[in-house]
Amino acid sequence: MHRRQFLQAATLIGLGTLPTWNRRTAQALETSPVKIQQPRHGAVLNRRHGRMLGKGLEISVIGHAPPGRVTVNGVTAERNGEQFSAKVILDQRDIDIRAIHEEGQHEDRIRVRWDRHSFPRYRFAIDDNSFFLRDIWQKKYASLFDCFYLAGLRHLHRRFGTKFVLNIYWTTGDEFSLDKFPDQYKGEWQDNADWLKLAFHAWSDKPDRPYEDAPPEKLLADFDRVSNEILRFAGELTYSPTTIIHWGMVRPEAFKPLASRGIKVLSGYFRQMGGRWDVNYRLSDEISEYLSKHDAWVDYDSGITFSKIDIVCNTVPREEIPAVLQSAESDPNQAEVMDLMTHEQYFWPFYTRYIPDHFQRLETAISWVSERGYRPVFLHEGFLGAPE
């Protein structure tokens, strides 16, 4: 399969078609006095959010409206002052929830996704990768796993079944760039592609925030260059659509072109730093606040699902990792998908901020989720790693 056919297939599988919802639909509903407050548009709902029945997931829909009869998907809502509530059954992957005021004078409508085959799962991504590729290129190892970094990841895979996506740069900023990496290891890459994949991250580590204000054309050109090299030296089985772009900041007009290249998920921190929401792909404050307290949110305009990262292992001391993960697991809105990550540079002794127990931090996090029944997945497969 040629690269263009491969990415087109990924797009068709990943996005589907949702012709009845777009930004114009949302704007048309903004002035309505009927408002659905829970769930919100784009919510990802699973077994933790309602009651499983034979034909679907029963959830509560809550909102406010002027006095009068309100129906929600044909069900008469209960009223308590301006608040209304009703039970709705989700019986398909994507479903519109429509609240209509008496005689259909006003309405509000949202779309939500039912994660219908959901199970507790985790993914592990590693950002800022370049040093290990330069090391293999320089040392000309007989095997990829003669590099201590890949050997360490393979040890964790063999012990826990963990799957890793390594998000890579074009260059280390010196003499090495991806076009110099040999294709002699392609067979070994593909032999391990069931647990080890490569994805675009950025052109290089510096400058910081390279795509926050850059035109989408710059991001897409870098994406294509890196993706083509991954396919050349590691093959299609090893290639993963990107799930984390460097610094998690891009212009929203890049979402649709990224989706057309097969990107289904983008993960970020969605937290406030310096008095503003950051590492949030420049999504609105409202959506960023929502994502800060939920596993995921679907942008139906582009088809991309945004996932909240639960822990960055290089920033959390080993003894504090269980408490951070426990905090997420204790919240039904954050417990189903554990999005784990770290950064490559902290594994290397020559790096100025080297962390000697970095592998032990990964082991602690992976052991914790494994013991609690979370299964390893790739977020780009199915829906957030679960069957569609």
33-74 residue pLDDT tens: 999 999 999 999 999 999 999 889 999 999 999 999 999 999
Q: Is residue 4 part of a domain?
A: no
* Shared-domain flag, residues 144 and 256: yes
For the stretch 190-234, pLDDT in tens is 999 999 999 999 999 999 999 999 999 999 999 999 999 999 999
pTM of the full structure = 0.91
Nearest to 229 by CA among 198, 187, 259: 198
- Does residue 51 share a domain with residue 162? no
User: Does one domain contain both 219 and 249?
Assistant: yes
DSSP string, 102-171: GGGS-EEEEEEEE-TT---EEEEEEEEE-HHHHHHHHHT-SSGGGSHHHHHHHHHHHHH---EEEEEESB
Domain range for 287? 121-376
CATH number of the domain to which 287 belongs: 3.20.20.370
In a domain, 75, yes or no: yes
- Whether 107 and 129 map to the same domain: the answer is no
Does residue 142 share a domain with residue 76?
no
Beta-carbon count within 10 A of 344 CB: 23
Which CATH number covers residue 87? 2.60.40.10
Q: Distance between CA 95 and CA 212 in Å, rounded? A: 33
pLDDT below 70 — which residues of the chain?
Answer: 1-30
Residues 339 and 318: their CA atoms lie apart, in Å, by 17
